[in-house]
Structure 1
Amino acid sequence: MAHYPLNHPLRPLYRLLAFLAAAYLTLFGAIGVGVTAGDPLFHRGGDWVLGLRTNPATAWVSLLLGVVLLVAVVVGRNLYHQVALVLGWALAGFAMVVMAVIQTDANVFNFSMINVVVLALLGLVVLTAGLYGKIGRPDDEAAR
């Protein structure tokens, strides 16, 4: 079993970083939904939002993931720890998969290389926040 630090002193800073990442995903998704309204779901057009290429599928997925992470950060506790770990790994892993198919027809999310870089960075920020977000009782910490 992995050892995650309990009650890390920089936990509020990491939680703020996770909140900012979630806010960016939510904002990107919300603006993207508006900009790509009326386009087919997997449209391969030239729509750009906040410096990233998008289509309706990308916008809706970003909006959904951003809202899920925002809710987890606001609720806090160990829910935030678990959600941030899962979403961090998922975002970073998805960035690598998209990078492998970026020049093919499998790029249904209309990503460019800048999308991959931003997605990987967001994934690593959220993952790091999740790693240091675990909380527990002080006696639990002493027992470890």
Structure 2
Amino acid sequence: MRLSDELPQDHRLATVYRYGAATGGVLLLAFGTLGFLDRLAFFDTTGRQVAGLSSNGLLSLVSVLVGLALVAGAVIGGNLASTLNMIVGGLFVLSGFAGLAVLDSGANLLAFRMPNVIFAFAMGLLILTFGMYGRVSGGLPHDNPYWRARHPEHATPQAVAPQAVALPARGRTPDPVAVESAGD
């Protein structure tokens, strides 16, 4: 799997990436800001309830920083937003596992409790899905901009012989392998 920046920038999937990054960023900014408003102790390992989750000052700071990064990715958009969503989503899933490993211990620097772990897994999978949507798949359709960028030899309109190609079903493009064999 290649996640290169030379892939198409201007396509309709960029809107999905932007909305995913913006939604995740705004949620994290709200959570972190509520933690700062409660004046939480920075390294308190027991934490206090904020919006149904346990939090401390460090978790509030991390939430605000990651939220700002996601909002910035939403503003920039394109492949950067997609890649940022995938990275942040993966880190959220990893933080869920890390939080699960340190529950009820002195090493719990982010004051995680079980609802935090579940939130980290859910938020991570959501953001990860927004980042991967339409970009990472074994069966991308041939009109997908990422498929065309990875298969330029099949995506060029000159390679298609119009008289030899049957009309595809509505919304689908012809199979390039079938088009090439029909032209021979």
- Judge same fold: TM > 0.5, yes or no: yes
Larger fraction in helix: 1
Larger deviation: 28-37 or 88-97?
A: 28-37
- Where in structure 2 are the equivalents of 1:35-114 lying within 5 Å? 35-37=38-40, 39=41, 41-114=42-115
What are the ranges of 5 or more consecutive residues in structure 2 without an aligned counterpart?
Answer: 136-143, 155-184
Counterpart-to-counterpart distance in 1, 2:150 and 2:74: 22
TM-score by length of structure 2 reads 0.66
Counterpart-to-counterpart distance in 1, 2:150 and 2:11: 10
- RMSD between superposed Cα atoms in Å: 3.0
- Where in structure 2 are the equivalents of 1:22-33 lying within 5 Å? 22-33=25-36
Query: Amino acid of the residue matched to residue 27 of structure 1?
Result: A
Alignment correspondent of 2:160: none
Change in 2 beyond 3 A, CA 1:8/1:112: farther
* Counterpart secondary structure, 1:43: coil
Task: State the shift of 1:73 in Å.
Answer: 1.1
Q: How many residues align?
A: 142
The answer on whether the counterparts of 2:24 and 2:127 sit within 8 Å (CA) in structure 1 is yes
Query: Amino acid of the residue matched to residue 25 of structure 1?
Result: L
* Counterpart secondary structure, 1:106: coil
Query: Amino acid of the residue matched to residue 115 of structure 1?
Result: N
Counterpart-to-counterpart distance in 2, 1:59 and 1:137: 37
Change in 2 beyond 3 A, CA 1:87/1:28: same
Change in 2 beyond 3 A, CA 1:77/1:11: closer
Counterpart-to-counterpart distance in 2, 1:101 and 1:10: 38
Q: Which has the higher contact order (CA 8 A, sep 6+)?
A: 1
TM-score by length of structure 1 reads 0.82
Change in 2 beyond 3 A, CA 1:60/1:8: same
What are the ranges of 5 or more consecutive residues in structure 1 without an aligned counterpart?
Answer: none
Task: State the shift of 1:19 in Å.
Answer: 1.9
